[in-house]
Structure 1
Amino acid sequence: MSGTGVPHQGEQYDDAFVPEDREVGVGPHPGPWPADPRLDPELLAAGDRRNVVDRYRYWTREAIVADLDTRRHGFHVAVENWQHDFNIGSVVRTANAFLAQQVHIVGRRRWNRRGAMVTDRYQHVRHHDSVASLASFAAGHGLPIIGIDNLPGAVPLETFELPERCVLLFGQEGPGLTEEAWKHSAAVCSIAQFGSTRSINAGAAAAIAMHGWIRAHGDVAGAVS
């Protein structure tokens, strides 16, 4: 870890997630090295095995974040975390994939970073001690809070028009949205289910809601692969 709190490039790759028979990324740059200030000399020399799309190979973390910041979408994601919810890592990874503006963790600071597969290094993550703090942030930025939970009175996400700028708020796995979260939500949306289970995984619900926003407002032609 550098003195600025920014991880060295080598710390951004977690080989625990890579099967032994699969090689990820690229090896050392064959040279001559491009004269591009976004590129990291250490990665050019050693290779880049990070969990990033090909367009960002050899780029520094700071350069990647700066580029993402020019294209981030208008939705934020918030998750209540009162009992150390292990789904949050997955939510952060999905938020990165769909280029959320920020992720807000409400409650406990500790969360499952391993599940994020290092994507939190490229995603703005903010902590709030309470739902009231999140609500204050949202109000100050003109962002309506849209709760996601299958609760009585919720409107179907499938027919709801998600605002282009909003906060998608998810509850803790199990209990779902707290009463306070419900009260601070401009609307609460449910996800249609057709099987026997009463609910779906919080990480899955977050992915469905985020993709719902992408379907409504995202520029699919600008997606990366």
Structure 2
Amino acid sequence: MSEQEYEVGVGPWQGEWPADARYDEELLAAGDRRNVVDHYRYWSLEAIKADLDTQRHGFHVAIENWQHDFNIGSIVRTANAFNAAGVHVIGRKRWNRRGAMVTDRYLDVHHHETVAGFASWASDNALPIVAVDTLPDAVPVEQRALPEACVLLFGQEGPGLSPEAVAAADSAVVIRQFGSTRSLNAAAAAAIVMHEWVRVHAQGA
């Protein structure tokens, strides 16, 4: 197969251009090679985000970032895939965006300097915090329906959630495992739990 056949996306728009403000003239002229679903081909970034904003799901995702965790980018990308209401980075403001593959532009990423500040935000917005970690009192995620409106809180790769984050959580869930490793990769765990929320609350969406 030729190299052309492996190209992502579509080439320049064929025929008369659509009279719709959501379409980006540069993309119509040059083609759209972005990693977006076909429905959003040729749309401007701003138009895509605005449309996604009308359909956001009820869960937010929060990640502690005390050690510059490289998983954050992948978690943001997954949060975009499941159209999370928002992403919250707790601790260091800077995080490695390479893993996000520019998906951070399609949803709101908030920063909280401390766990206390994040917990205050969640309380002000009436959002229960669900900790995801191998905690003694954690319930297997498939055995406890996640709240429709909530924040899913993930810790650092390795140490997991900080004691402050555990104390701030309203409940805790765990992903059952059957091998020898103690914990899953943080990005993989986030994807599983987000999908569980979608399985319960977004069937048929």
The TM-score bracket by the shorter chain reads over 0.9
- 1:183 Cα offset (Å): 0.6
- 1:75 Cα offset (Å): 0.2
SS at match of 1:158: helix
What letter corresponds to residue 188 of structure 1 in structure 2?
Answer: A
In structure 2, the residue matched to 1:218 is 202
Structure 2: where are the runs of 5+ without partners?
Answer: none
Distance 1:116 1:22 in 2: 22
8 Å contact from structure 1 (residues 92, 120) kept in 2: yes
Does residue 115 of structure 1 match 2:67? Answer: no
Does residue 58 of structure 1 match 2:42? Answer: yes
In structure 2, the residue matched to 1:161 is 145
**With structure 2 as the length reference, what TM-score do the two structures score?**
0.96
- 1:188 Cα offset (Å): 1.0
What letter corresponds to residue 24 of structure 2 in structure 1?
Answer: D
Distance 1:56 1:158 in 2: 33
In structure 2, the residue matched to 1:47 is 31
- 1:22 Cα offset (Å): 2.4
What RMSD over aligned residues (CA atoms) do the two structures have, in Å?
A: 1.3
1:3-43 Cα distance to aligned partner (Å, 9 max, x none): xxxxxxxxxxxxxxxx9972011100012101011001111
Choose which of 111, 114, 130 in structure 2 pairs with 1:146: 130
8 Å contact from structure 1 (residues 25, 49) kept in 2: yes
Residue 21 to residue 176, structure 1, CA distance change in 2 (3 Å): farther
Distance 1:123 1:66 in 2: 9
Structure 1: where are the runs of 5+ without partners?
Answer: 1-18
Q: How many residues align?
A: 203
Choose which of 126, 149, 174 in structure 1 pairs with 2:110: 126
- Which segments of structure 1 move beyond 6 Å, counting only runs of 4 or more? none
**With structure 1 as the length reference, what TM-score do the two structures score?**
0.88
What letter corresponds to residue 69 of structure 1 in structure 2?
Answer: D
SS at match of 1:209: helix
In structure 2, the residue matched to 1:6 is none
What letter corresponds to residue 159 of structure 1 in structure 2?
Answer: Q
